[in-house]
Structure 1
Amino acid sequence: MKIRKPLKIKELTVNIADITFDQNDLGRPDLQCARQELAVAILQTFLAPTDHKDWYRLYREPPDKAEIEKRLAPVNKYFALLDPEGPAFMQDLTLEGGEPKPIASLLIDTPGGKTLKDNLDHFVKRGGYSAVCHRCCMIMLYALQSYAPSGGVGHRTGLRGGGPLTTLVEPPEVGATDWQKLWINVLPQSSLQDAYGREYAGTEPGDWTRILPWLQPTRTSERKGSEWYPADIHALHLLWAMPRRIRLDAETLKAGECQSCGCHSEQLITQYKTKNYGNNYDDSCLHPLSPYRTDKKGLRYAIKGKEGGLTYQDWLGISMQNQTPEAEGVSPALVVRDYATKADDYFQQAAFKASLWCFGFDMDNMKARSFYCQRFPLIHLDEVQLDDFHSVVETWLRAAFSAQNALRTYVKEAWFRYAKSVKGTLSQVSAHFWQQTDTAFFAKVAELAEQISRDGAAQSLNVAWWKLLQHHCLKQFDQWALDGPAQDKDMKRIVGAKNKLIKTLNSDKNLKTIKGDRDGQDIPKGV
């Protein structure tokens, strides 16, 4: 009888070229997005062009898969998933012992131990994703290490904090290829050097231990002073940051169908081990794919996903630069800022057609409430036009903030006899306002971008935006005031609150800025 030799565990190495060409459904939006980010990281790290001219040549004449496989072959060994004798992708090199966890715990929204004990896993059930193939496991590992929230004492968050917002550029051409959708987010080496200075070094074989953290022992963080600072890190390390101490379990493999993508595998991964106090990254490490906010003390923080998702109030900061008081100090991701250079040189005829793909978890501390994936227009103008455009849009946003504040305030007065003593922010009113005015806002933004150089265009559009805000506020007030939980439906109180709303919409300084010379007391019919 022929005896079959056991499959060597080290054969479980992913061909990383496949990641850049693989478009199979992974069953979850967070994994789909993480795969896109992982593919960008691979191209950025191992195939980065020298300058923008080199970048554009490869954008138009992409290498085929065979050429990419050839170029990635020397580093493919670093992406082994199960290698008991050496480095393994996104895993602690020297981990001993550790707490065993089911493989589903790599997913950020998997119920934790207390949730399971209290039988509170109502919406995300236990038992799913109990066995996954090596490809899906690689993406799950990358997603956890990149987006990791706090996981308890010593279980570190990702380099950008828990649930960071990632922003990727989508090409302006209709029918852009999968390669172009990835490559447009790859930065030339010259851009990295300008952004990171001495922190960005070469990518010679001797640099891989500085770039890929699983090739060296973890700098454990039981004590203060163990943080990673920008001066300690190769710029490309930022794409591969590894805060969690994890080692996949090679003793619990099994054959069957992957519960993520459905493929059959003889070596499905079912379990891993983990310890706390992994690499601890300082907040000053700036990831090239995320926008950041600078606080009054000058400290920078990656913008996170938020409840209800992003709205147009967030758009200006993550796509250009927003200096409105409500979003002071927001700056776009480096990859978005670099697109402005690319657009100047190569996409002038399609300046208004690119888009911004934004995704991230909305986290409540350690709990994932939702994963949001949204797209916004990405507008590119020349420097002179951009200043004027930016100034006008900021006045629109200030006016919109004032309008939604007034709406929320007077809906509360319409509902409650003693509104000031009622707790709660009526966030549902604000969320509905932003959702209902979203389409109108971007329609006006498109008009502004096309007409910005025409005399009088901004003034005309300002008045149009003021009318739209008036219309939506009054319409939404009527809906909320009459259909909401108003105490005793006191019509005198409701009418009084509406009159206050009308007055505020006409007298608020931010709204007066855009309404021009109109006295505003008489709301035009049909507006």
Structure 2
Amino acid sequence: MSENFNLLEEKWIPVKRQSGAEEWIRPAQIVEGQKDDPIVRFNAPRPDFNTGFLQFMVCLLQTCCAPTTPREWRKWFDQAPTVEELDRLFEPDKDAFNLLGDGPRFMQDLERKESWEVCSVSALLVDLPGSQGLKNNTDHFAHRVVDLGLSLPAVALAIFNLQQNSPSGGRGHRTSARGGAPLSVIPVFRGDIWLTSWACVSEKQLAPSTIRNRPFPWLYQCRNSRGGRKLVANECSIWEVLWACPRRIVLMPSATGVCSIFGNIPFPVVKNVYIEAYGNNYDSSDWKHPHSAYYTKDEIQLPYNPRSGQLGFRNWHHLTYGGKSVNPSRAVADALIRLARMGAEIQTLSFGFEMSNAKVLSWRYRELPFFCCEKETQNSIRAVSDLLVSWSEVAFKELTKVLQVSLSVSMIPKEYSDEFWRKLDPEFF
């Protein structure tokens, strides 16, 4: 293990291959064995870690390997690059991926003050109670983990996940570049991690020179947001949105121990972190993330958040094909254009934490059909889906009236609505 634990050099990503073999890889090895024994899934025990590893790979490929033309994209879709090719393309940005050390650290603040608040490493996991929850004993519905420790692979992914999805976290603790706890919607090839990762990569965009030309905000001094000061998109690299760092975090020294996520693996464990408020303040209406679908409200485009009942047929056609006030994620829109004539079997994957402020309500994860078709067919699918949803809404309103009378209540519990839409899903698809 290197002293700086460089995330492009270390084997820190757990995967499972088609043969059933389980191993740890470094990022460039995502294509290793693609012809004979491809990687079929990430192999973490937490579902949000598996989607996090996928997003990390997509962000890395987008930043370092973006194709310049559709033909270039198709070349790697038809035949994966070699490990050596990826290593060569990752090399120029290797300095940005040190998790430890004296220089810039991956997704951590350049400033390191011992006066900052010392928190349990559990603060990096949105589903576990933070220091305030533990102090005030308000963690009644979350499992309190005693002496929690995260190995270096686990803590690296936990930081990435928190910065990508950071929910509202109290005064000065900023949300992600697409708001608090966003919904991600991406195309997936079931059982093929390389194709899924590459399907989410967009073509390179020409971008003007900016104050921050590299997309890694931890290479720069934090833009202190006390007083509401914002970091605007036109000051930064076009792909900073992939690596946005709203939270000010610094890992404290690691030690030996057992990882609370991966168990007894041969990596040091981190138990505490320094945390400070007023990190980079990203306005989610200013930044556009390629994994988020956006809806228009008061002429402003806002990213979707996971909500109860949202990941079924009621919203499927809008998240996949867009609509009057909805734009699908760029990853999905690109896949529609690229794959419409290829006959590829593909699905959409929607995932994210449903939150109420800083409290986790549920983890949302749903794979749904994705018909890669021409524009005319997309319009037909949208029209039929809108009609079926309208009829279903009318039926639910009538059912609600009957239930209100029979139960002698003025309001029907929210769970009834969730169950209604959930039971209609199989009939629709």
Among 233, 236, 245, which residue is 2:236 paired with? 233
Q: What's the CA shift string for 1:215-250, capped at 9, x where partnerless?
A: 0000010124x2122222322101001000111112
Q: Decide which structure has greater strand share.
A: 2
Alpha-carbon distance in structure 2 between the residues aligned to 1:135 and 1:339: 31
Is 1:376–2:368 an aligned residue pair? yes
RMSD: 2.3
1:335 to 2:327 alignment: no
Q: Contact conserved, 1:153 with 1:276, CA < 8 A, in 2?
A: yes
Contact in 1 for aligned 2:354/2:361 (Cα 8 Å): yes
Question: How far, CA to CA, are the matches of 1:11 and 1:426 in structure 2?
Answer: 52
User: Post-superposition shift, 1:370?
Assistant: 1.2
Q: 1:177 to 1:388 in 2, by over 3 A?
A: closer
Query: Partner of 2:157 in structure 1?
Result: 139
Residue equivalent to 2:34: none
Partner of 1:18: 26
TM alignment of 1:91-490, pairs within 5 A: 91-96=108-113, 97-127=115-145, 130-171=148-189, 177-189=192-204, 192-193=205-206, 200=207, 210-224=214-228, 226-250=229-253, 253-265=254-266, 267-284=268-285, 285-295=287-297, 297-307=298-308, 310-323=311-324, 329-345=325-341, 347=342, 349-350=343-344, 353-416=345-408, 419=409, 422=410, 424-442=411-429
What is the CA deviation profile of residues 427-468 of structure 1, one whole-angstrom value per residue up to 9, with x for unaligned ones? 2221111111101111xxxxxxxxxxxxxxxxxxxxxxxxxx
In 1: Cα distance, 2:134 partner to 2:155 partner: 23
C-alpha separation between the residues in 2 aligned to 1:337 and 1:223? 37
CA contact (8 A) 2:403 2:412 kept: no
Distance in 2 separating the partners of 1:33 and 1:160: 17
Distance in 1, matches of 2:174 and 2:330, equals 25
For residue 483 of structure 1, what is the aligned residue in structure 2?
A: none
Which residue of structure 2 lines up, in the alignment, with residue 88 of structure 1?
Answer: 105
CA deviation vs aligned residue, 1:36-91 (integer Å, no higher than 9, x gap): 111100000001111111001011111122332232123222111112x2100001
Partner of residue 446, structure 1: none
C-alpha contact 2:319 2:329 (8 A) present in aligned 1: yes
Distance 1:404 1:303 in 2: 24
Query: SS where residue 255 of structure 1 aligns?
Result: coil
Deviation at 1:308, TM superposition (A): 5.0
Query: Contact 1:292/1:331 (CA < 8 Å) preserved in 2?
Result: yes
Q: Corresponding residue for 1:4?
A: none
CA distance in 2, matches of 1:144, 1:397: 34
Distance 1:229 1:24 in 2: 34
The code of the aligned residue for 1:234 comes to S
Count the aligned residue pairs.
402
Instruction: Write the distance in 2 (CA, Å) between the matches of 1:119 and 1:283.
Output: 32
SS across alignment from 1:257: coil
Contact 2:231 2:280 in 1 (8 A): yes
Write the distance in 2 (CA, Å) between the matches of 1:432 and 1:176: 30
1:45 maps onto 2:66 in alignment: no
Counterpart contact for 1:165–1:290, Cα < 8 Å: yes
Change (3 A) 1:118 1:211: closer
Q: TM-score, normalised by structure 2?
A: 0.87
Report if the CA contact (8 A) 1:255-1:264 is conserved: no
- Of the structure 1 ranges 144-153 and 390-399, higher mean CA displacement relative to structure 2 is found in 390-399
SS in 1 for 2:295: strand
Q: Aligned partners of 1:283 and 1:53: how far apart in 2?
A: 32
The secondary structure found in structure 2 opposite 1:221 is coil
* Structure 1 contact 209–216 (Cα < 8 Å) conserved: no
Larger helix proportion, structure 1 or 2? 1
Q: Per the alignment, in what secondary structure is the counterpart of residue 265 of structure 1?
A: coil
- What code does the residue aligned with 1:437 have? L
Q: How far apart, in 2, do the equivalents of 1:294 and 1:221 lie?
A: 26
Name the aligned partner's letter for residue 175 of structure 2: T
| Alignment match, 1:456 | none
Contact 1:358 1:375 in 2 (8 A): yes
* Paired residue type of 1:223: G
Q: Which amino acid aligns with 1:232?
A: E
Q: Structure 1 stretches of 5 or more lacking a match?
A: 1-6, 194-199, 324-328, 443-527
